[in-house]
Amino acid sequence: MPTLLQRARTLTTLGALLLAACSKDNAVPTPPSSWQVDGQVLQSEKVTVEVGTPTYNANTITISIWQDISTATSTGSAVALTLRVPNRVGTYSLPSTNTNISAGYSDYVSPGQGSNLYEAVSGSITISALTSNSVAGTFSFVGAELFNKQHTKRITDGQFSKSF
């Protein structure tokens, strides 16, 4: 069962990710990063990788993936994924008692409508390749809504590849 610290880290990361996703940043995406949410295929618009330092999240990689699904006629919405794993190749089960392993999903809808935050209750993250300046892997998990555990999202066929 996730600890309060794990939940706080996941929420903080997802919140920062959603704020960044809603900005006017026109960065060029780094494909291929994609996944399915309850069977709907999504492709990332932006992927960021944060490597921990000796004083903050040591030996941890945080991978943030998001897609802004706004259109010219919509008021805006976005989805975001956050994966946190040890800084080494391997497969990591979710949920974990290790505070360095977690996954979360958030869907943000138009301003004033809020967002739904989902925390992984089962699944895994695999880091298949890791160098000093790139990371690649796969993920799948079931996320339960933070404040209503009966609402879930199934995240499947996730893959990412990012140079940093």
* Nearest one of 93, 101, 17 to 59, comparing CA atoms: 101
pLDDT score, position 157:
94
**Predicted confidence (pLDDT) at residue 109 exceeds the cutoff of 80:** no
pLDDT score, position 54:
76
Can you list the positions of beta strands (E) in 38-130? Answer: 40-43, 46-53, 56-68, 78-86, 90-94, 102-108, 115-130
Q: Where are the domains of the chain?
A: 4-163
Confidence (pTM): 0.75
**Predicted confidence (pLDDT) at residue 127 exceeds the cutoff of 90:** yes
Low-confidence winner among 11-20, 28-37, 61-70 (lowest mean pLDDT): 11-20
Low-confidence winner among 81-90, 98-107, 111-120, 129-138 (lowest mean pLDDT): 111-120
CA angle 23, 29, 35 (to 5 degrees): 100
Work out the mean pLDDT of the chain and round it to a whole number: 78
**Predicted confidence (pLDDT) at residue 134 exceeds the cutoff of 80:** yes
The torsion defined by the Cα of 25, 106, 139 and 126, in degrees rounded to 10, comes to: 80
Residues whose CB falls within 8 Å of the CB of residue 155, separated by 6 or more in sequence, listed in order: 35, 36, 37, 81, 103, 105, 123, 139, 140, 141, 142, 143
Contact (CB, 8 A) for 45 and 23: no
Eight-state DSSP code of residue 38: T
**For residue 20, what is the enclosing H or E element?**
helix 4-21
pLDDT digits 0-9 by tens, 45-101: 788 899 887 777 778 999 998 776 654 444 456 778 899 999 999 999 999 988 889
**Predicted confidence (pLDDT) at residue 11 exceeds the cutoff of 50:** no
The strand pairing partners of 163, in sequence order, are 134
Contact (CB, 8 A) for 83 and 62: yes
